Amino acid sequence: MSFQEYLKYLTKLFVQYVETPQAERKKPALVRETWSSRWFGVIPMAIKMIFMRGR
């Protein structure tokens, strides 16, 4: 990526940010799933449940 393309990309992002209404920018971000469930699915949750049941 050349410097000019990068500069165009950054300018485009900046303009999108400025044109977005302030109320919309201040909305809380969506809650993301944990990295363990994102990478490994339900296996970490199942292991946690097994260990929690043993207590």
DSSP per-residue string spanning 1-55: --HHHHHHHHHHHHHHHHHS-HHHHTSPPPPPPPHHHHHHTTHHHHHHHHHHHH-
What is the model's pLDDT at position 24?
81
The pLDDT of residue 12 is 96
- Tell me: the pLDDT tens digits for 9-55? 999 999 999 998 888 877 777 777 777 777 888 888 888 888 887 66
Note the pLDDT of residue 15: 95
pLDDT at 3: 94
Q: Give pLDDT, residue 55.
A: 63
